[in-house]
């Protein structure tokens, strides 16, 4: 039977939190439930929604930059067309007249260069969570990290007599890398594991009472 570790009483659970983002035609929302994140993305062409447990979300972060290549392609075609028409008009009349397609194409290329969507990617097996990289990204990522760490701790922070000391140490150090345990808590857990290894009948909570 697994022995849960003694912890301080938890603070009252906050009400469900919803955060939204919008930039360059992309919209995202994040509904933070008790056990899972409900995440939605609307990129202007399609809208998708996923429900992902916090423990499924990776601690790793990736970057993703997206541009709408339609503006680049159309702009290039119009610039070429405008250049050809301008040259043909000059050859016929010897009077310089700028084709309307040139400034229109140039405007499309400028819009393509400026309309950039930057995302921070939180990988997961179910779906990659895209967080728009703006001023609100820090709050979204901090809430994801906080709830993920709490869920991992709730599920994996225990001592089991069915596991070897090495297996238990590995899990404790893994929880530390996931941000679920701080240095002081890791030291306390490792001390408890050492006590259990020396005396299988020892109370696994003794290490915390001695702290």
What are the pLDDT tens digits along the chain (211 aa)?
A: 555 554 544 444 555 799 999 988 889 999 999 999 999 999 877 899 999 999 999 999 999 888 777 777 888 888 888 888 888 887 887 777 788 888 888 888 887 777 788 999 999 999 999 999 999 999 999 999 999 999 999 999 998 888 899 999 999 999 999 999 999 999 999 999 988 888 755 545 444 444 4
Q: What pTM was estimated for this model as a whole?
A: 0.70
Tell me the chain's radius of gyration from C-alpha atoms: 28
Give ∠ CA 158-184-172 in degrees, rounded to 5: 35
Q: Reading across the β-sheet that carries 62-67, which strands appear in turn?
A: 62-67, 116-122, 129-132
Does residue 131 contact residue 141 with C-beta atoms inside 8 Å?
yes
């Amino acid at each position: 039977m697994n022995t849960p570790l003694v912890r301080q009483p938890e603070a009252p659970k906050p009400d469900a939190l919803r955060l939204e983002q919008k930039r360059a035609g992309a919209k995202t929302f994040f509904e933070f439930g008790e056990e899972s994140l409900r995440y939605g993305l609307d990129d202007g062409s399609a809208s998708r929604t996923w429900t992902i447990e916090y423990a499924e979300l990776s601690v790793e972060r990736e970057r993703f930059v997206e541009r709408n290549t339609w503006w680049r392609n159309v702009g290039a075609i119009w610039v070429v067309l405008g250049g050809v028409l301008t040259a043909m008009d000059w050859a016929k009349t010897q009077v310089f007249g700028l084709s309307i397609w040139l400034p229109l194409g140039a405007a499309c290329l400028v819009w393509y260069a400026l309309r950039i969507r930057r995302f921070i990617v939180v990988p997961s097996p179910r779906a990659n969570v895209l967080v728009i990289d703006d001023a609100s990204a820090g709050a979204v990522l901090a809430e994801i990290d906080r709830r993920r760490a709490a869920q991992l701790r709730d599920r994996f922070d225990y001592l089991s007599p069915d596991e070897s000391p090495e297996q238990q140490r590995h899990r404790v150090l893994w929880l530390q890398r996931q941000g679920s345990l701080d240095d002081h808590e890791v030291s306390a857990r490792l001390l408890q594991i050492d006590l259990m290894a020396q005396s299988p009948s020892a109370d696994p909570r003794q290490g915390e009472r001695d702290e």
